[in-house]
Structures are given as C-alpha cells and as structure tokens.
Amino acid sequence: MSESVGIIAGVRPTRMELLTLKERRELAARGYELLREKQDALVREFFTILSEAKKFREEMESTLAEAYVSLLNAKLVEGGAKLEELALGAKSPLDFEVETRNTMGVTVPIFRITEQEESVQLHYSLAGTSATVDKAAQKVRLALDKVVRLAEIEATVKRLAAEIEKTKRRVNALNYVVLPRINNTIRYIELMLEEQEREDLFRMKRVKAMLERKANA
C-alpha cells in the first residue's frame, strides 16, 4: 500500500526538505492518533444514543397506543362529531422551538415544545364534556412530547453517524495515503542524499589522486 501511493510531487532532495518532511510526518502521526481517539469516542456515543433511541421508541409507541385508546373512549362517550367540534374550536397553545448543543464536537438539535400562557386554560366547557375528553387530551399531549423527543434522539444519531463516517475517511486518508506518501518521500530523499554523498566522495578521491600524481611528477 505504501509503495502504491508514490512520493510527493515536486519535492527537492535536500536536507532542509528532509527535515521539513520529518516534521510533517510527526504532525500527521499526531493528527492520526487524535482522530482515532475521536472516532472511537464517537462510536461509543453513537451506540449509547442508539440504544436510548430503541428504548424510547418502544415508550413512544406504548404512549401513542394509550392515547389512541383514550381517544376512542372519548369518541364513544362524546361522539365523533362532538370531538371534531371541540378540536376545531380549540386554539393551538403550543410552540415548537429548535436549539442546538455540542456533543463530541458535533452540533446536534434540541427540540422543545413550549406552552403559551393561555394554554393553562381549557378551550372547551367542562360542563359540556366528560372526563374522557380530559384524559384523551392529556394522553395526546404526552404522546406528542414523546414523538418530539424521539425525533431529537434520531436526529442526533444521524448526525453522529455522519461525523463518524467523515472522521473515518480522514483517518483512512492519513493512514493509507498521507503518511505512506511522506514516508516514501523521506526514503527517496535519503537515498538521493546517500547517492550524492557517494558521488562527492568518489570525486574527492579522484581529485586527491590527481593532485598526488602531479606532486610526484
């Protein structure tokens, strides 16, 4: 693998270049280790949140089922037309907010449902409805919270997965391309410098021999 990536284009076989490349190799190796540590931490966090998402999905489905049963009970007691009338007459006292937080260097969303001030008041008459309507409204509100929370968790899982893939590509690039190419270039420069030293030594010997012959003559 290291031979197939070749050497850095346009490199000059000088000692200064050799020192510069060795510094680059040290930085690249340090960056590789840091990215490996980040990748491992991201993977651990990913599987922790993935497990949380699985459990929370089961909770959400259970809560939705309870809300559905409560709505059916309210419909049986009040009638479908009455429930529709109550739903159409009710205002929407809920706001949806999106914020962000940092997890392992990844920006992930925070979804939040906030209640307006008037939400503390009922939007239908207690005298004209049964307790089944109140119970259904409470169950649906709880189910909505669960759905929003699960959406937040799953969005976090997706962003962590994307960051893991991005980090993995960078780790592989350093390990299989950048570092091998630097190492190949360093070996190339060292070989060239050794060749130059041998040539210099050979020339020095020839010059010395010529000067000795002249001196003897």
CATH label of the domain that carries residue 99: 1.10.287.3240
Residue 52: inside a domain: yes
Give the mean pLDDT of 49-69.
93
Q: Residues 57, 59, 63, 68: is their CA dihedral positive or negative?
A: positive
pLDDT at 75 over 60: yes
- pLDDT value, residue 205: 82
Residue 184: inside a domain: no
Which residues form the domain of 86?
A: 27-164
Give the mean pLDDT of 127-132.
70
Total number of domains in the chain: 1
Tens-digit pLDDT profile for residues 5-28: 789 988 999 999 999 999 999 999
Give the mean pLDDT of 34-46.
95
Hey, what's the torsion of the CAs at 126, 127, 131, 134, to 10 degrees? -20
- Report the predicted TM-score, pTM, of the whole model to 2 decimal places: 0.75
Residue 136: inside a domain: yes
Tens-digit pLDDT profile for residues 77-119: 888 887 777 777 666 667 888 899 998 889 999 998 877 554 4
Residue 154: inside a domain: yes
Give the mean pLDDT of 124-150.
80
Residue 10: inside a domain: no
Residue 94: inside a domain: yes
Share of the chain above pLDDT 70, in %: 88
Residue type, 76: L
pLDDT at 127 over 70: no
Share of the chain above pLDDT 90, in %: 55
* 164 or 94, greater pLDDT: 164
Residue 97: inside a domain: yes
Report how far residue 9's alpha carbon sits from residue 28's, in angstroms, rounded to the nearest whole number. Answer: 18
Residue 149: inside a domain: yes
pLDDT at 62 over 90: yes
